[in-house]
Amino acid sequence: MKHDIEYDIEGRVRGFYLLGFGTGTYTCKCVDCGKPFIGDKRAIQCLECVIKIVEKKLLSSKMLLLRVQEYMDTNDKEINHLKVLISEQLRTK
């Protein structure tokens, strides 16, 4: 059995953590839905519940939605710019 600190460092480097969920081999019980799940020794939420929280946060936050929209708009402009450049180049060849 490893010391807690070693387990912690190894787990944090190799494992995946998101809110109350962490990957691992322990059988845990979710504090939200009460279902058992396989995760890190210190995990308190199952991945399904964590994903629900992330979705809810994203969809309920106007700031986050605006950021996503802005990102998509920016990419759209870049893509359109590239389309124009390609068609201009093709016309001269």
Interface with Zn ion (CB under 5 A): 30, 32-33, 46, 49
Per DSSP, the three-state class of 29 is: strand
**What is the smallest separation between the CB atom of 39 and Zn ion, expressed in angstroms?**
10
Residues in the chain: 93
- From the list 42, 55, 35, the residue with the least C-alpha distance to 15 is 42
